[in-house]
Amino acid sequence: MEYNNILVEKKAYLALITINRPKKLNALNAETIQELHNAIDAMHRDEDIRVMILTGSGEKAFVAGADISEFADFDVIEGSNLARKGQELLFNFIEKLPTPVIAAVNGFALGGGLELAMACHMRVASKNAKMGLPEVTLGLIPGYGGTQRLPQLVGKGKAMEMIMSATMLTADQAMSYRLVNHVVEQESLLSFCEEIADRISNNSYSAIASAIKSINAGFQNAKSGFETEINEFGNCFGTEDFVEGTTAFLEKRKPNF
């Protein structure tokens, strides 16, 4: 299968999926989200593949966020549909996938990029990685599961601080907050992830699938939280702050809230 925005490489039991929009810092648009779903689903159905690694092309960004130009003129209903479709098609899909997915976070993982990394089963960051959820600077909130997964990983208080202040973490800070599993040198990122994948691949695939399902079950009470996030994300599109935030971003200036 051919893709416009991603690259897929198979290495025996391993699939390396690379988001390949370097000029856009690998920002997520609707086409890329659909292609990621298709590629990950195809690799999951491939009986040879036991583990996947998800990363971004180049050294600057894993995913620098969503493609804001694609939704800057959305209304409340369109905003809600954007969050719902994205969660169902990609973010929740990855989290529930029986095949382990490792996020190799190289460079910026902001907004939807961090949400994508958090949806993966584990995260390894390069030392130059920067992570955060800056949506409130656009008059928005995280809409791809960020308000639910971040507290699960770093705790409620730190998640509140990060989201409300739009704080960006260094790789070492992310490690200290348990947002990532490991921090390694940029040049060692993929090889380190492959070492983890190798250890995983030596174990029972069915048992790993059961472990993923069981661990996720402990967080199922968050289902209503995801629905609330979808609704509130959509509501943001009906505010003046959203118009100002996205306009300022596209005009490359600071917003005036």
d(CA 100, CA 102): 7
| Tokens matching residue 116 | 């994508």
Residue among 110, 2, 11 at smallest CA distance from 56 = 110
Tell which residue, 102, 119, 114, has the closest CA to residue 169: 114
Q: Please report, for residues 20, 48, 58, 151, 196, the alpha-carbon distance to residue 148 in angstroms, rounded to integers and kept in the order given.
A: 27, 33, 29, 6, 26
Burial (CB < 10 A; 0-12, 13-18, 19+), residue 205, is middle
Kindly state the DSSP code that residue 4 receives in the 8-state scheme.
S
244 catalytic? Reply is no
Which one is catalytic: 95, 135, 194, 229?
A: 135
135 given a catalytic annotation: yes
Extract the tokens encoding 135: 């949506």
Residues 115, 194, 227, 251: which is the catalytic one? Answer: 115
Please count the other Cβ atoms lying within 10 Å of the Cβ belonging to residue 229. 22
Find the farthest-apart pair of alpha carbons in the chain and give their distance in angstroms, rounded: 54
Of 139, 140, 92, 99, the closest CA to residue 119 belongs to 92
Report CA 8 to chain centroid distance, whole Å: 18
Give dist(CA 62, CA 109) in Å, integer. Answer: 5
Q: Helical H runs in 103-155? A: 112-119, 146-154
Q: Could you give the residue numbers annotated as active site?
A: 115, 135
